[in-house]
Amino acid sequence: SVYLFQYGAYKNENIMKDNCKDLSSYFYYKNDNMYHVLIGISSNKENLDKIKKAYNINSDIYVKKEEIKNNEFIESLKQYDNLIKSSDDSATIINAEKQVLAKYESLVLNSEQIAY
């Protein structure tokens, strides 16, 4: 199981981009006519607080639990989770999540190995 940390979901792409302009990094994908904005993914739900702090987010973040069967992604995620857990540096945490989100897109979304 992994946790997707969703900043928001929007019906309109321009509104989504406008609402996310203060984020230094984010990832979005379209599903069911909604644009879902992710700021992070972790196998450790406790990392959410560190990720929110790195992005300077004070609002609630929607946490969605997903089962992912892609072993390459899971192994990579564990390494980034350890880095995030051991760091308090915002740039390090955000850069780690940029890598996680890129791997999520290439290894999970593009290969459609998500189990619902």
Does residue 103 register a pLDDT over 90?
yes
The pLDDT of residue 112: 58
What global pTM score does this model have? Answer: 0.86
Does residue 113 register a pLDDT over 60?
no
**The dihedral sign for the CA sequence 24, 108, 41, 31:** positive
Does residue 115 register a pLDDT over 70?
no
Full 3-state SS string of 35-73: EEEEEEEECCCCHHHHHHHHHCCCCCCEEEEEEECCHHH
